Amino acid sequence: MGLLSWLVVGLLVGLTASKLMPGRGSWLPTLVLATIGALVGGYVSVYFNWGTLASLHPRALLLALAGALLLTAVARVLRR
């Protein structure tokens, strides 16, 4: 159940990040990148023992959002 909840929360955070920083083309690549960034941010939160995405800890959610926005921004810069 933990992996499924991480994916669901990652998708929701990714959707939020893709709305905050929309891409130029289709919304699907932006959503996938943002979801991967959210999962990486959630992993960093677990690594530093700041909470998990499965428990919806606020610090973990903020790190997931930051990871999603960061990965989306890096992809945007690399596409130029």
How far apart are the C-alpha atoms of 39 and 61, rounded to whole Å? 10
State both tokens at 58: 């606020």
**Tokens 């959210």 label which residue?**
38
How far apart are the C-alpha atoms of 60 and 76, rounded to whole Å? 24
Decide: 72 and 34 in contact? Cβ < 8 Å: yes
pLDDT in tens, 16-37: 887 887 766 677 888 888 888 8
Q: Residue 5 pLDDT more than 60?
A: yes
pLDDT computed for residue 48 by the predictor: 92
pLDDT computed for residue 29 by the predictor: 82
pTM summary value: 0.84
How far apart are the C-alpha atoms of 62 and 50, rounded to whole Å? 11
pLDDT computed for residue 1 by the predictor: 56
Residue 68: which of 5, 19, 1, 2 has the closest Cα?
19
